[in-house]
Amino acid sequence: MSESTGLEWFKSSYCGSGDGNCREMAPTPTTSHIRDSKALGRGRLTVTPTTWSASLSLPRVATPESS
């Protein structure tokens, strides 16, 4: 667990590059919390598990960093 929230955060499986550019998730029965490990102070996104699951099936959009 981390922070004072009691949430248990897990790093993305795509986080292995070592540059620290990771997404982390803390699932609960009623919410899914997502944050950027390089910008913890910028807050987090909180969605329902249904919304999180639906977002995983969306096509990925290429960005200048990923192309």
The answer to whether the CB of 39 falls within 8 A of the CB of 23 is no
Kindly indicate the confidence band of residue 33, based on its pLDDT and cuts at 50, 70 and 90.
very high
Q: Does the pLDDT value for residue 1 go beyond 60?
A: no
Share of the chain above pLDDT 70, in %: 75
Instruction: Say what the pLDDT of residue 39 is.
Output: 82
* Cα torsion through 47, 19, 63, 67, rounded to 10: -140
* Helix, strand or coil, per DSSP, at residue 2: strand
Q: Does the pLDDT value for residue 30 go beyond 90?
A: yes
Q: Does the pLDDT value for residue 14 go beyond 80?
A: no
Encoding tokens for residue 59?
């096509």
- Phi, psi (deg, nearest 5) at residue 28: -130, 170
Encoding tokens for residue 44?
């987090």
The pTM for the full model equals 0.66
